[in-house]
A = this chain, B = another copy of it.
Amino acid sequence: MPDFSDGFRELVKVIRTAIIGGTGYTGAELLRLLVAHPDVEIVAVSSRSEAGKPLTGAFPNLKGYLDLDFSDPSDLLSAKPDLVFFATPHGVAQASMKEIASTGARVIDLSADFRIKDQQLWEEVYSQPHQSPEFIADAVYGLPEVNRSAIAGSNLVACPGCYPTSVQLAMIPLIEKGLIDPASIVAYSGSGVSGAGRNAKVPYLLTEASENFQAYGTAGHRHEPEIVQGLRAVQAETDTPAEVLFLPHLVPMIRGIHSTVVADLKDKSADIQSVFEARYVDEPFVEVLPLGSQPQTRYVRGTNLCQLAVHVRGDRVVVLSVEDNLTKGASGQAVQCMNIMYGLDEKTGLNMPAMLPG
């Protein structure tokens, strides 16, 4: 029986939240988590294409949990949200930041708009000019395992990408301690098809994507510079700058990311396992499995957990990392950030085991 000590809960102001772009998979996952969150009231969900229609049309699973119509993006602020989530493609959040900030609402952006600190790099990677560069500096990269206190005080949290969360959590303990050659990192990742979004494209049809396995983006993927930035942020200044060869793959399943990250060890005698255990001992959503384990995506499906396992092979370390790309890789992490921003127990609304089988 879980201990729900509700003593302080009544003191918490209910958070009036709005979601922009609620019809995609990160929006769907965010809604699933927020309707069960005891401190949140969902006051508006916008969708340009679905405005005026009930949410339960797009999300029959929410029937009985959320009785709301999609609003037009232009009407969203009339609901006076305390907090706005962007679950949109990149480019949308930047265009609206000024207006939202002027209302005093805080923002959690699940898109890539404010993740990259170097504006020019962002513009290269995303092939468009940035529309709100003045917000970049103050945006906090929403990886609680690195930026918890900054997240707590932030008005604009830029949630990490799904792959970057997976790969950074696998490498951060090694990079922080200077245990590997930072230029040697190769990250092989596989993601379920939901990573491609709720977009009707032929390659993601069941008939094309099931019974198939392939690499994609091998020539260079947008998440690579984000991973590099995240690792460099935790390096010692004197260390060689981190470089990552990031190799994503498409796995014939709905949800889940598994990363197999390889790096050259500087010191074979280091007790890598203990370094990982110490680094994450207080983290509610990172679990270090026993040395030599083989994590599986299904055991974290639908949860906010990232499981890590360390293998040492000769002069190299291999770190295996699993998460649900839509939960810890997106919307669950966004809720975790929200909990931090509002001083709630970090596990609120995120405390459920994965289904097995399932």
Contacts and interface: CB of A to CB of B under 8 A. Distances in A.
A313 interface: yes
Interface in A41-65: 41, 59-65
A137 interface: no
Given A190-B251, A213-B296, A249-B258, 12 more contacts: A25-B207, A28-B357, A35-B353, A63-B287, A194-B358, A205-B205, A206-B209, A212-B253, A214-B297, A218-B260, A251-B251, A255-B355
A318 to B, nearest CB: 6
A109 to B, nearest CB: 22
Interface in A223-280: 245, 247, 249, 251-256, 258, 260, 262
Contacts of A65: 353
Q: How large is the interface on A (under 10, 10 to 19, 20 to 34, 35 or more residues)?
A: 35 or more
A206 B210 contact: yes
A200 B206 CA distance: 10
Interface stretch (A1-9, A99-107, A127-135): A1-9
Nearest to A210: B206
A38 B256 contact: no
A207 B205 CA distance: 8
Given A214-B297, A301-B211, A354 B219 contact: no
Contact of A355 (B37, B302, B313): B302
A3 to B, nearest CB: 9
A292 interface: yes
Contacts of A215: 258, 260, 294, 320
A249 B211 contact: no
Contacts of A91: none
Contacts of A213: 190, 192, 251, 253, 256, 258, 296-297
Nearest to A352: B36
Contact of A61 (B59, B210, B249, B356): B356
A29 B205 CA distance: 17
A173 to B, nearest CB: 18
A202 interface: yes
A193 B211 contact: no
Contacts of A352: 36, 352
Given A200-B202, A294-B214, A188 B254 contact: no
Contacts of A358: 194, 207, 211, 254-255, 301-302
B218 A294 contact: yes
B190 A255 contact: no
B2 A212 contact: no
Contact of A356 (B6, B59, B218, B297): B59
A39 interface: yes
A32 interface: yes
Given A28-B356, A211-B211, A254-B206, A316 B245 contact: yes
Contacts of A2: 35-36, 38
Contacts of A313: 218-220, 245
Interface in A322-358: 322, 326, 351-358
